[in-house]
Amino acid sequence: MKLLLDMNLSPRWIQTLEDRGLEAVHWTSVGDPRASDRVIMQWAHDRDHVVVTHDLDFGALLAATSAQKPSVIQVRTRDVMPEVFAPILFDALDRFKNELEEGALVVIEPAQARVRILPFE
């Protein structure tokens, strides 16, 4: 699984994810930092990446477009630094691996993670 980290997550995540054996890029290394969410989503779709974000707009884009891909992981917690949040993210990646590969929105909160299969009905 290839991950694309949105601008609102630290580039420090890349090393943490790579140490776990995951392929990951931060948007600042592949695209314009001022790009719209739609541009980021299209990039991820075209390259089969899962978007990891702290932005609620990506879920809304999936709903508005009835998209089947890219999958999105939406982080809904205050502290999104790797030192704190990595175990929770890794758990969700393991639990929802198949769904993310097929097309899903995974919402991760401090106490729970949930998944919705794409496209939204």
Per cent of the chain over pLDDT 70 is 100
User: How do residues 5-26 score in pLDDT, each as one tens digit?
Assistant: 999 999 999 999 999 999 999 9
Per cent of the chain over pLDDT 90 is 96
**What's the per-residue H, E or C state across the chain?**
CEEEECCCCCCCHHHHHHHCCCEEEEHHHHCCCCCCHHHHHHHHHHHCEEEEECCCHHHHHHHHHCCCCCCEEEECCCCCCHHHHHHHHHHHHHHCHHHHHHCEEEEECCCCEEEEECCCC
CATH 3.40.50 assigned to domain 2-117? The reply is: yes
User: How do residues 48-64 score in pLDDT, each as one tens digit?
Assistant: 999 999 999 999 999 99
- Is the dihedral angle over the CA atoms 32, 80, 71, 94 positive or is it negative? positive
Both tokens of 86, joined, read 């990595």
Both tokens of 14, joined, read 């890349």
* Domains in the chain: boundaries: 2-117
Q: pLDDT at position 111, please?
A: 87
